[in-house]
Amino acid sequence: MTVGFGSRLRAALDEHGPLCVGVDPHAALLDAWGLPQSADGVRAFGLAVVDAAASRVAAIKPQVAFFERFGSAGLAALEDVLAAGRAAGLLVIADAKRGDIGTTMAGYAQAWLAPGAPLEADALTISPYLGGGSLADAITQALPHGKGVFVLAATSNPDGAGLQQARTDTPGETVALRVTREVTALDVAGAGLGSVGLVVGATIDRAAFALDDDTLRTVPLLAPGFGAQGATPADLRTRFGTLAGNVLASESRSILSAGPDRIAATIEERAARYQEVMGG
């Protein structure tokens, strides 16, 4: 029987703690690392991050856009990074933020979450703003293969708040809460941590989005906003409370800026800080 993504994530969080390392080879970082602005550069960058993160953290999160900008060669580089991350025992979350309807959304699931696909990842970030139901085909295809999704719900970017906090026609319900209800209803994992997760920013006020602890009790949370965006490991428990054990704390620039010679040590130091906060 295929082990569900939620179960695999639970085991990885318990073993390594909550740190998720972003793989964001944007132009300034390639220059700082002494790498070329090319597909070869982003491949070398990504593989170096995989080597540094392996056995130290639960997950990595390659930002697809920084590979796509080099066209087909960039996507080939991304394929190598995704495969290397999974081979190293890391959970690999493709940060692609795909969102569409029907067979198109199913096609994205086949591209990113089908076993053996060239771009195979363990989970994919997806956008619900064509309606939560629009994601059903992707989610129902992903779950039987032990894959997961993280649905944008309450993001840390200021521009998102007005939309995500807007009230629906259901009393007390925000758009973020409706998205949460619709997509988590598609998760059939049962007890334990689910495989349909949410992107919930570490720097937001969850109450303003009407996302309380009871609603999110068994939902994996991918939390941007740690590191360069201001949240610290010590904020994990204060911001997420009883949900802290379900959180992947995503950091990118704060770790990647250490450079190729220091990144492994920086990841190890940062992971240890999160583990201390979680009592590990």
Q: Which domain holds residue 102?
A: 5-277
- Number of domains into which the chain is organized: 1
What confidence score (pLDDT) does residue 280 get? 65
Range in 19-28, 153-162, 168-177 the model is least confident about = 153-162
Closest CA to 18 of 271, 254, 280: 271
Contact criterion met (CB below 8 Å) for 186 and 163: no
What confidence score (pLDDT) does residue 189 get? 65
What confidence score (pLDDT) does residue 171 get? 95
66: domain CATH number is 3.20.20.70
pLDDT in tens, 216-245: 999 999 999 898 788 899 999 999 999 999
- Give one DSSP letter per residue of 237-275, joined into a string: HHHHGGGGGGEEEEE-HHHHTT-TTTHHHHHHHHHHHHH
The tokens describing 255, both together, are: 């770790």
What confidence score (pLDDT) does residue 154 get? 96
Q: pTM here?
A: 0.96
What confidence score (pLDDT) does residue 88 get? 98
| For residue 149, pLDDT beyond 70 | yes
Residues recognised as catalytic: 97
Contact criterion met (CB below 8 Å) for 174 and 212: no
The tokens describing 149, both together, are: 């999704």
| Single-letter residue type at 53 | A
In the predicted model, what is the mean pLDDT of the chain?
95
Percent helix, strand, coil in the chain, to 5, is 50, 15, 35
| For residue 57, pLDDT beyond 80 | yes
Q: Specify the 3-state DSSP secondary structure of 35.
A: coil
pLDDT in tens, 240-262: 999 999 999 999 999 999 999 99
